[in-house]
Amino acid sequence: MKLFVSDLDGTLFDEGILDQDRRCSKKNIEAVQRWVHSGNRFAVATARPVHIRKMLEQQLKIQIDMIGGNGIELLFVDGTHVFHGTSAKSFFDIAEWISQNQINATAAMKMKGKWIVSGVDRFPFTDVKRYRTFLSEGIVLNRKVADPDELCSYLGVFVEPDTMSQVKEELKLLFGKTLEFVSSDIDDIDILPKGISKGKGVCLLAQSLSLDLSDVIVAGDSENDISMFEAVECSYCMAGAEKTVQMKAKMIAESVAEAIDKELKKETDYM
């Protein structure tokens, strides 16, 4: 048995992240089914929360292991559930930094199923092209919304694409001793506890399945997928990804379907 782990937006889902009802393409669904019916395992590693597993399983018509929130939460088919939440204090500190420095950005966290945002007067609320509808449901920050020691399932900063790299580097300098910063889109900085990543989640899943990492294949298209590329020997980056991300993977593919079919052919040739 081998394990194929796919990113979601831009990889298993062929396009962007703003549409909340993305669907897998028919060719990817059929390829995943071929992979599993050949005796292999399939998993998804995404910045999205693990609760979307049910929707994905309905589309793919198989059971899947989930690495959600870039590795913050793991939900495996055998019932294993692991949660590495980020503290609400980190959200308060970053929101305060954004306000004090008048950064055109919004900090957001999800806790107990609810979104909390640092405000509604800055990006992405001010940009119709990048606006996320789920943020409009958020509770505007006040110190009563959460205890600083509580853990959230998502923490991130939405910032103008032109300034994202600069803002990310400043955040690393200020908070890098305890937090990780990775990008999952051109205007989204995902924030994780130190040492947590998709790659770490892939390693834990492989361990739970008693698989060597040489039997794991991963596919992705963004900076937050690089930790997966670095964790295993066999990695695919989508052809539409930025060149800096492509350079971190062993191979390039146009789709998950293409990557799976290449791996299935390797198995056939080996036999």
Helix (H) or strand (E) holding 58: helix 53-60
Instruction: Give residue 224's identity as a one-letter amino acid code.
Output: N
pLDDT tens digits, residue range 90-103? 999 999 999 999 99
Q: Which residue has the higher pLDDT, 18 or 225?
A: 225
Please report the pLDDT score of residue 137 as a whole number. Answer: 80
Residue with tokens 């831009």: 10
Give the residue extent of every domain in the chain: 3-84+196-270, 86-193
CATH code of the domain occupying 3-84+196-270:
3.40.50.1000
Distance CA 148, CA 136 (A): 23
Rg (the chain; Cα; Å): 18
pLDDT tens digits, residue range 115-133? 999 999 999 999 999 988 8
Please report the pLDDT score of residue 17 as a whole number. Answer: 40
What are the Cα distances from residue 240, in Å, to 33, 245, 246? Answer: 24, 10, 9
Phi, psi angle pair for 162, to nearest 5°:
-65, -25
Q: Is residue 124 within 8 Å of 103, Cβ to Cβ?
A: no
**Topology (CATH level 3) of domain 86-193:** 3.30.1240
pLDDT tens digits, residue range 45-99? 999 999 999 999 999 999 999 999 999 999 999 999 999 999 999 999 999 999 9
Beta bridge partners of 116: 109, 139
Distance CA 111, CA 64 (A): 24
| 203-232: average pLDDT | 97
Considering Cα of 259, then 265, then 269, then 271, what sign does the dihedral take?
positive
Distance CA 12, CA 203 (A): 20
